[in-house]
Amino acid sequence: MVLVRYTAPRSFTARNPIEAEIIVKLTERLSAILIDQQTGRLYLPDAFAGNALGVLSPHRAQNSTIRQALRIVGFDTEDRPLPVVDTVDKLQGQERDVIFVSYGVADGEYAEGEADFLLSKNRFNVAATRARHKLIVLCSDAILDVVPTDHKVLIDSMMLKEFRRYCDSGHHQVEWTSQAYGIITLTIQWKDFSA
């Protein structure tokens, strides 16, 4: 399990090009190296799109942004099908080897305003349990730091908030150069289950 968190250089609500850029780079890399556990060989493009990777985001606008960014680098063609990029609800009951979750929102007020939806423990639980082997969550510090004023929503939000503490096996900071926003410091935290 991996958490990639950052402080955004500006506010983002339902669309976040920074997280889309990161997902594109990760998807390109995974498509070149991910081994199918059934065959012991690299995933073929159809199997990669259909079984290896799923990208989830609570907002349809963010899913659209990610799909468009993947198309720009050559996904969604006959030779390189597009992996599923959709809401958590659409992948319920299915699994993929790797799941990326893009929260997208990088605005504290916006996150607080839709905290009951965005920070739902059920939504986080469903997303996290779709991954057979690896879960990578991209989330701004604005989401992780928001404190909902409604007590029930606050309690419900603790699963995502505690994920930051749960990923305690190690951390590393990386300078990411966004095409549109320049250098952004990413804090990568992980939970290692190999020990």
Residue ranges of domains in the chain, CATH in brackets: 2-190 (3.40.50.300)
- Predicted confidence (pLDDT) at residue 166 exceeds the cutoff of 70: yes
**pLDDT band, very low/low/confident/very high, at 90 (cuts 50, 70, 90):** confident
What is the pLDDT, as a whole number, of residue 195? 59
- Predicted confidence (pLDDT) at residue 148 exceeds the cutoff of 90: yes
- Predicted confidence (pLDDT) at residue 33 exceeds the cutoff of 80: yes
CB atoms within 10 A of CB 138: 24
CB atoms within 10 A of CB 185: 11
Distance in angstroms (rounded) separating the CA atoms of residues 131 and 100: 9
As a whole number of Å, the end-to-end CA separation of the chain is 14
pLDDT tens digits, 35-53: 999 899 999 999 999 999 9
What is the pLDDT, as a whole number, of residue 100? 98
Instruction: Round the average pLDDT of the chain to a whole number and report it.
Output: 95
Provide the sign of the torsion angle of the four alpha carbons 103, 86, 25, 95, taken in this order. positive
List of long-range contacts for 86-92, beta carbons under 8 Å, 24+ apart? 86/54, 86/55, 86/56, 87/56, 87/57, 87/58, 87/59, 87/60, 87/63, 88/56, 88/58, 88/123, 88/126, 88/127, 88/130, 89/126, 91/54, 91/56, 91/126, 91/130, 92/126, 92/130
Which residue do the tokens 């290692």 mark? 192
Asked if 57 contacts 100 with a C-beta cutoff of 8 angstroms, the reply is no
